[in-house]
Structure 1
Amino acid sequence: MSAPVFRIRAVELAERPVTLRLPFRFGDTLVERTAEAYLRLRVEGPGGVHTGVAAQLMVPRWFDKRPERDNARTVDDLRRSLRTVAGLAPGLRGSVARLAAESRAASLSVLCAGADALPRLAAGFGPALLEMALIDAACRSGGAGFAATVRADALGLGPLAPPDLTPDGLSRHLAGLRPAPEIALRHTVGYDAPLTAREVRQRPDDLPVSLDEVVAATGVRWFKIKLKGDPEADIARLEAVAAVLAPLGRYGATLDANEQYLPEAFTEFSARLAAARTLAALREGLAFIEQPFARETALEHPAPPGLPALIDESDDADDAFPRAAARGYAGVSVKSCKGVLRALLNSARVAAAPGRAFLSAEDLTCQPGLCLQQDTAMAALVGARHVERNGHHFAGGFQGAPEAERAAALAAHPDLYRPGRRGPEPAISGGRLRLGSLGAPGFASAPGPDFTAMKNTIFQEETGS
């Protein structure tokens, strides 16, 4: 059965400001405040007119780390990506997969050309939100949840299978996907974050700040440890982290270099890591190293030997993972801000290479609400065993949402949220989140954000018939 066909009639953009309770540093960037982008569209398709929504935090200097662009400039570039796709999408007609592909191609042809060209990762931000909203609208059109919509290939992904996958094989893979009822959280340990309560210099509130406080409050047993590209300093940092985690006994961990290493220095780091007796327990639980080298050059050379390596920032196109695999990379991150359909494609690639390939859900910034719900629903369906989730720790609080929206979120997701001091917060228990309520009709979008309470609204509507 062919996938439903939709026509995009209108696209609306808006945002809410977000202030971090704990400033976070990754790479050479310190993030203290930004905004969360929202996209709502109206489509015409089977059964009439339907709406779809999506949200993502606009993270400074992650999508584009060029030194000449500061935090504010890179956020404005993400806004440019959103405005571009919102202007190009109305009037397009096709399945969700075809609409997503055409709107992405059209947007990138504009944004990745000329004197002020954007890198593909930044240019793809707006198209990724449009794709998520299209998926939501398709789910609502069929009265089904995300998992059921994907299994039926009502998004039309199978017929557009890339060369390394067959249409029938991709459709069979999608038909076999089942969402996990719960997922383990992986707590991100920034390389300058306090590890113990006595190291905390300033407390913004009475919520956990240090690593030991987070462990005690949430029961997390998975950790993502940031590196800085200095072998000696990174080993010392890992030893300090391992000392704090030692009382847990067994735990899982991943490392993230955020493109900070050069190959020679990484070889030294790997040797030190393998030799350090103090890191035996940490090494036993290590799953992989994420993006050790700069995105621009990482795929020009073989993957580093030893610990399995995963691409994240280098994943800027639907064929990036196959190209990385040819270089010896075993893993790829899945993030809805890079593309939900890309995550589904990569899950099929992983399934076709059992024991030789893997995916991992990586997104530090997802805020409680629509963004967290959609990204977590995606991660649970594509087979992620654990997911990086720290948006509630560094910011959170349903910032900018009116009280009615907060109450509606608690009512719609009693398993996912609980009342918190600053608003609904993830109901983490034993280091895990229960996800059953995300299966309601729509792409994990209930109850939906209140656009009347947002800023910087832009509306683009189809002008022809």
Structure 2
Amino acid sequence: MPDFRFCVDEVSLFERPVKFRMPFRYGIVTLEAAPEVYVRVRISTADGATAEGISADLLAPKWFDKSTDFTNEQNFEQLRKSVLMAADRYVDPARIDTAFGHHAAHEEAHHAACVACDLPGLVASFGIAQIDRAILDACCRVRGISVFDAIRTNLPAITAATAPDLDGFDIAQFLSTLTPKESIDIRHTVGLTDAIWESDIADEDRIGDGLPQSLEANCKFYGLRSFKIKLCGDAEADIARLAQIAEVLETQVGDYFCTLDGNEQFEDAKQFLEFWHTVLGDPQLEKLARSVQIVEQPINRLKALEAPLGVLGDLVPVEIDESDADIDAFPKAIALGYRGVSSKSCKGIYRSLLNRARVEMLNQGAGGEAGAYFMSAEDLSTQAGVALQQDLSLASLIGCTHIERNGHQYGDGLSGISAPWRKALQAAHPDMYVEQGERLCLDIRKGKIDLRSLQVQGFGVLVSPPFDDMRCLAPNFSASNFRFL
């Protein structure tokens, strides 16, 4: 079958405000509100067919760039700028290429341009990720297929062009084996400011919106079995908090597994190793320690890829997340003793797919040892609708059986959107959403989300959002050949 080629005619960007139902503390920020950006593209094929595609993601502050020199608003501006810079590169009615061809042609130059503007690698990745995802959505719509079929047949024409370490690995054959899951386990986030027990919540701090607030209540309400526990880097405080969490999980859940998110709060591998030995030596944490499957990015991104993990890498599976700032990061991490890498839609679908191919290649080289190298699926407060559905589709594509989910917990269930959009989403995805008053909430049952309704034409999105209800980014952000629809 000949490659599916097209040009990118137009891109438009919109925003809607998102207010959280409860504060979410990760790393150095406590998030209560942020904008969500929506991208819409239009492509044209050589035979005159056209289609539009969309993507969306939250502009999360103090994650893409954790510098304290910037305010949250300045972080939002960084991410907007990256999307607009990427759009400027892609929009070219004279350039005909495959979906991955467009990506490969622009990725390196986009990252270099962002560096020249003092934008970090993760900020650069965010911009190109939004355009790529919207383009892939449009490609699927032109062909009338789901993203799962598009990847299985390699409609984007993914190659090792941006990942030469995969030369000789049959990427197309590997992609043909990817089969989406019908459901996925929720790995519930335990944030640094979250109440552990119901009794921890003062009367004046109770939300009273019908949804759970404490870890104890969440376990009962959603039937949770897997968890992601945030660490603050203060050993004494973390140990005390882990003991409380362990008590809840062992009394309210029983059998469970968890991951620990170091949030870059440790200076080096030695400091985290000392902390981990303390965990192993604490009788209250015996079961929790046995239940830890992954330790996520314990070391600050500025130092994480400077030195080998040593004994730590042999003792516990450690992955990179914030250090995954470009396509070359995962191989560098593997050489230092890391065994995994996180997948997030905001980093890019092609990075996730190529990293998943690397995991397959590495595990084949390790004699097929199950889990020797791995990927996890992580959330960055993705909101219900476009962002959530595309993120879940990606996690399902790369074979994850569980995914961190926190957007449902801190976000306010698409509150504030128009009733027609809310009702259309619930009707299109009755297995995923449930209406609660003027909210659209994630329908989690026995700790799982049903994913079957994502099998639709396009990239997991059957219902397009009402762009007329959103703010269109100001034209003065646009570059010379950038046009708004």
Q: Shorter-chain TM-score category?
A: over 0.9
The CA deviation at 1:400 is 4.2
Partner in structure 1 of residue 367 of structure 2: none
Cα deviation, residue 107, structure 1: 2.6
Of 242, 245, 249, which residue of structure 1 is paired with 2:249?
245
- Residues 163 and 107 of structure 1, relative CA distance in 2, 3 Å threshold: closer
Question: Could you list the runs of 5+ residues in structure 2 that have no partner in the other structure?
Answer: 364-369
Q: Counterpart of 2:221 in structure 1: which amino acid?
A: A
Residue of structure 2 equivalent to 1:234? 238
Structure 1 position 453 matched with structure 2 position 442: no
Displacement of 1:181: 0.6
- Equivalent-residue separation in structure 1 for 2:36 and 2:433 (angstroms): 19
**Shift of residue 265, structure 1, vs aligned partner:** 2.5
2:108 — aligned with what?
105
Query: Alpha carbons of 1:421 and 1:285: their partners in 2 closer, same or farther (altered >3 Å)?
Result: farther
2: CA distance between counterparts of 1:345 and 1:159?
Answer: 8
Mapping 1:4-19, distance limit 5 Å? 4-19=4-19
**Whole-Å Cα distance in 1 between the matches of residues 297 and 157 of structure 2?**
31
Q: Is 1:442 matched with 2:458? A: yes
Moved over 6 A (4+): 459-463
Q: Percent identity?
A: 38
Q: Which amino acid aligns with 2:359?
A: V
Residue 324 (structure 2) aligns with: 315
- Rounded to whole Å, the distance in 2 between the matches of 1:451 and 1:152 is 32
- Partner Cα distance (1:167, 1:54) in 2: 32
CA distance in 1, matches of 2:473, 2:331: 38
Q: Could you give the per-residue CA deviations for residues 158-186 of structure 1, whole angstroms, max 9, x where no partner exists?
A: 36362221366111100110001100001
Instruction: Say whether 1:347 aligns with 2:348.
Output: no
Residue 219 (structure 2) aligns with: 215
Q: 2:262 aligns with which of 237, 251, 257?
A: 257
CA distance in 2, matches of 1:336, 1:438: 16
Q: CA shift at 1:385, angstroms?
A: 1.3
Q: For residues 381-439 of structure 1, what are the alpha-carbon distances to aligned partners after superposition, in whole Å with 9 as ceiling and x for unaligned? A: 10111001110110132144211111110111111111123422111110000111101
- Report the secondary structure of 2:40's partner residue: strand
Q: Secondary structure of the residue that 1:298 maps to in structure 2?
A: coil
Are 1:401 and 1:450, in contact at CA under 8 Å, matched by a contact in 2? no
Residue 414 of structure 2 corresponds to residue 408 of structure 1: no
The answer on 1:30 being equivalent to 2:36 is no
Give the SS at the match of 1:160: coil
- Structure 2 Cα separation of the partners of residues 315 and 462 of structure 1: 29
Residue 321 (structure 1) shift: 0.8
The one-letter code sitting in structure 1 at the alignment partner of 2:254 is: G
Paired position in structure 2 for 1:333: 342
* Cα drift, residue 458 of structure 1: 5.2
2:347 match: secondary structure:
coil
Q: What is the RMSD computed on CA atoms of the aligned residues?
A: 1.6
Cα distance change on mapping 1:337 and 1:428 into 2, 3 Å: same
Is 1:372 aligned with 2:388?
yes
TM-score normalized with structure 1 length: 0.96
Match of 1:79 in 2: 80
Give, in whole Å, the separation in 2 of the partners of 1:54 and 1:366: 12
Partner amino acid, structure 1, of 2:104: A
Does residue 41 of structure 1 match 2:78? no
Do the aligned partners of 2:160 and 2:166 also contact (CA within 8 Å) in 1?
no
Please state how far the C-alpha of 1:449 moved relative to its aligned partner.
1.1
Give 1:47 shift: 5.7
Q: Is the 8 A contact 1:193 1:210 kept in 2?
A: yes
Q: Distance in 2 between matches of 1:278 and 1:168?
A: 46
Given that 1:20 and 1:33 are in contact with CA atoms closer than 8 Å, whether structure 2 keeps it comes out as yes
Which of 247-256 and 96-105 deviates more?
96-105
Q: Secondary structure, in 3 states, of the residue corresponding to 1:112?
A: helix
- Contact 2:419–2:438 under 8 Å retained in 1: no
Specify the SS of the correspondent of 2:323. Answer: coil
> How far apart, in 2, do the equivalents of 1:14 and 1:364 lie?
19
The code of the aligned residue for 1:211 comes to L
SS of 1:64 mapped into structure 2: coil
